[in-house]
Amino acid sequence: MTRAISLHDVSKSYTRGTRVVDGLSLDIAPGEFLVLLGPSGCGKSTVLRMIAGLEEIDEGELLLDGERANDWQPAARDIAMVFQNFALYPSMTSRDNIGFPLRIEDRGADPGPRVTATARMLGVEDLLDRYPSQLSGGERQRIAMGRAIARHASAFLMDEPLSNLDAKLRNRLRAEIAQLTRELGVTTVYVTHDQAEAMSLGDRVAVLRGGVLQQVGTPREVYALPRNVFVAAFIGVPRINLLQGVVRAPLDGAMTIGLGKQALRLPEPLSLDHRLLRVQQGREVIVGLRSEVVRIADRDSARPGEALITGLVEHVEFQGHEILVHFNTGSRPAVVPELEAPRPAARPPRRRRREGPGMLDRLRGRAGAALRAGPVVVLEDLEDPEDPPGSPASDTAPSGVRLPGDLVVRTTPDVRLHHGMQVPLLVDLDRVFVFDQDGDRICPSPDRLPDLDA
Ligand SMILES: Nc1ncnc2c1ncn2[C@@H]1O[C@H](COP(=O)(O)OP(=O)(O)O)[C@@H](O)[C@H]1O
Ligand SMILES: [Mg+2]
C-alpha cells in the first residue's frame, strides 16, 4: 500500500519569529515521485522531517491517506527515510544493516528472503557479507537504499541521498533510483538542491525559496512557464539570461521592450499577451531569455514573431555538442538576490587590453556573412565594454565578478564565431518571459495553461 501525502498550510519555526517553512501546501499522489528543490537552507530537510515525524509541526496539517497524522509516532507512519550521509551501522554487515529494520518490525520473522530479494534488485548481492568500512561511497549508499526498500514502507523520503558521491556515480545512481521507485510504485519525496537532478527524476518538482513554495509542476511546466524570476533562474543550464527592460507603448508607434541600448520590437498585430503588457508602459521589467530562444541569423531569415537585435561576441564556449556564445548587447543584467549560484564566469575575469578602433574594425570585417544582415544597429560604445563610464552594467554580478557579456546564446557547433564579431540575433518573442519588478511573471500571462505535453 502506498500513501498519499498532503501538507496543508504547514509552518515551522525553530526560533520564535522566523519561519523556516511558511504556509506550505502540497498534495502528493500515491505512487508519485515528487522532488523538493531549492537552495541550501530553504527548509527542504525540515519539510521531510516533519513528514517523517522527526520534527513537530507548529501550524497546519499533515495528512497521510487523508487522515490527520501530525501527532502520529514516526513508526506508525510507515515511512522509510534515506539520508545524505549513509546512516549505516558500522559494526553490522550489509546483510544485517538491510535486515535490521525488518527484525525491529517483526522480531519473530526471518529477514533473510527479503534481504536477498532487495540485494538482487540493487545489484549488491556480492556485498552482503561486507562491513560499511569495506564499501565504497556508492556501495554504501546502495545498502542504505536497500535498508529503506526492504521494509516495503508505504512511502520513501530521500534527503539529498546522492550529494556525497562523485558526479559519475551520482548520475548512475540517479537513473537507478528513478527505475527502482517506478518499479516499486511507492510514493517518494526526494530532496535536492541540484536542479538537474530534480528535472531528471521528478514526476513533479516543487520549488522552495526561504521556506515558501514558489511553484509546483512537471519539469516541463516549471521550465517553460516559471511563475517567477526565481524559478526561471533556478532551473535550466545555462542559467536564463535576465535583463532589465522597459516597456514602451507610444500611441503613434510600435510597442517595444527597451533593453539598454537596443529594443525588442513586438510584432503587429500584438498578441493577447503583448497587449496585456501595455499597462506596464514606462515601467521597468525583467526580461528572461533562455539561451535557446535567441538564434544567430540575419534579418532576412526572421520568422513571424522574431525580433532583431545585435550582439558583440565576447566569449565563445565550445561544449562539443553545442556552443554557448556570450554576447554583449549593451543591456543591463538583472540580478536575482538569494540565488545560490549566480551564473559562473565562463573564464576568470580579467581586464582586457584596450583595443584601438583599428583592431575593432578588423574584427568587424571578419564577421563576414553575419555582418551583411541588413540594418544592424551599431552599438556606439561597444568599443570598450569593459568599462563604460557610469554604466549601470557595472553591477552585473552580486559578487562583483564581471561576467563576460550579458546574453548567452546556444548554437550548433558548426557556427564559426570569434571574439569581437558583431552578429545579428533573432529573438523568439513568443518564448520571452517578462517579469514585473516583484519578479512575478506577467508575460506569458500568469493564467496561461500549460499545454506543453500536447
Ligand atoms: N534544529 C534546528 N534548530 C535551529 N535551526 C534549524 C534547525 N534545523 C534547521 N534549522 C534552520 O532552518 C533553516 C532550514 O534548514 P533545512 O530545513 O535544513 O534547509 P535545507 O534542507 O533546505 O538546506 C536553516 O536556516 C537552518 O539553519
Ligand atoms: Mg537539507
Strand 241-248 versus strand 212-217 pairing type: unpaired
Residues in contact with ligand 1 (CB, 6 Å cut-off):
14, 20, 38, 40-46
Range of lowest pLDDT (12-16, 117-121, 367-371): 367-371
How far apart (Å, rounded) are the C-alpha atoms in residues 161 and 131? Answer: 20
* Ligand 2: centre distance to CA 197 (Å): 15
Lowest mean pLDDT among 25-29, 157-161, 180-184, 239-243: 180-184
Find the ligand nearest to 44 CA.
Answer: 1
- Predicted confidence at residue 320, as pLDDT, reads 93
Q: In the structure, what pLDDT confidence band is assigned to residue 402 with cuts at 50, 70 and 90?
A: very low
Per-residue pLDDT at 108: 81
Cis amide prior to 238 (ω within 30 degrees):
yes
Residue 363 pLDDT class (50, 70, 90 cuts)? very low
Q: Which of 7, 13, 14, 58 to mutate to test the pocket of ligand 1 (most atoms within 8 A of CB)?
A: 14
> Closest-lying ligand to the alpha carbon of 163?
2
Q: What does the alpha-carbon distance between residue 131 and residue 292 come to, in Å, rounded to a whole number?
A: 49
* Spacing, Cα 43 to ligand 2 middle (Å): 7
Q: Looking at ligand 1, which residue's alpha carbon is closest to its atom 20? A: 41
Indicate which atom in ligand 1 lies nearest the CA of residue 46: 17
Look at 101 and 343; give whichever has higher pLDDT: 101
- Output the residue whose Cα is nearest ligand 1's atom 9: 46
pLDDT higher than threshold 80 for residue 380? no
C-alpha–C-alpha distance, residues 118 and 142, integer Å:
10
Is the predicted pLDDT of residue 454 greater than 80, yes or no? Answer: no
pLDDT above 70: residue 140: yes
- Residue 340: pLDDT band with limits 50, 70, 90: very low
265 or 268, higher pLDDT:
265
The answer as to CATH 3.40.50.300 being correct for domain 5-229 is: yes
Q: Percentage of the chain with pLDDT > 70?
A: 83
What is the reported pLDDT for 450?
63
CA–centroid distance, residue 21 to ligand 1 (Å): 9
Among the atoms of ligand 1, which is closest to the Cα of residue 48? 17
Q: Is the pLDDT of residue 401 over 50?
A: no
The domain spans of the chain are 5-229, 230-385+394-443
pLDDT of residue 394: 34
pLDDT tens column, 443-452: 999 887 666 5
SS (H, E, C) the chain: CCCCEEEEEEEEEEECCEEEEEEEEEEECCCCEEEEECCCCCCHHHHHHHHHCCCCCCEEEEEECCEECCCCCHHHHCEEEECCCCCCCCCCCHHHHHHHHHHHHCCCCCCHHHHHHHHHHHCCHHHCCCCHHHCCHHHHHHHHHHHHHHCCCCEEEEECCCCCCCHHHHHHHHHHHHHHHHHHCCEEEEEECCHHHHHHHCCEEEEEECCEEEEEECHHHHHHCCCEHHHHHHCCCCCCEEEEEEEECCCCCCCEEEECCEEEECCCCCCHHHHHHHHHCCCEEEEEECCCCEEECCHHHCCCCEEEEEEEEEEEEECCCCEEEEEECCCEECCCCCCCCCCCCCCCCCCCCCCCHHHHHHHHHHCHHHHCCCCCCCCHHHHCCCCCCCCHHHHCCCCCCCCCCCEEEEECCCCCCCCCCEEEEEEEHHHCEEECCCCEEEECCCCCCCCCCC
pLDDT in tens, 404-438: 689 999 999 999 999 999 999 999 999 999 999 88
Ligand 2 center from residue 55 Cα (angstroms): 13
Confidence at residue 421, expressed as pLDDT on a 0 to 100 scale:
95
Ranked by mean pLDDT, the top range of 70-79, 356-365, 389-398 is 70-79
Distance CA 145, CA 154 (A): 15
Q: For residue 400, what pLDDT band results from cuts at 50, 70 and 90? A: very low
Residue 381 has pLDDT above 70, yes or no: no
Cα(45) to ligand 1 centroid in Å equals 7
CA of 390 to the centre of ligand 2 (A): 42
pLDDT tens string 272-323: 889 989 999 999 999 999 999 999 999 999 999 999 999 999 999 999 999 9
Q: Is the pLDDT of residue 92 over 90?
A: yes
Cα(54)–Cα(57) distance, rounded to whole angstroms?
A: 10
Pick the atom of ligand 1 nearest to 21's CA. 14
Range of lowest pLDDT (93-107, 167-181, 378-392): 378-392
Q: Amino acid letter at 111?
A: P
Lowest mean pLDDT among 106-115, 192-201, 250-259: 106-115
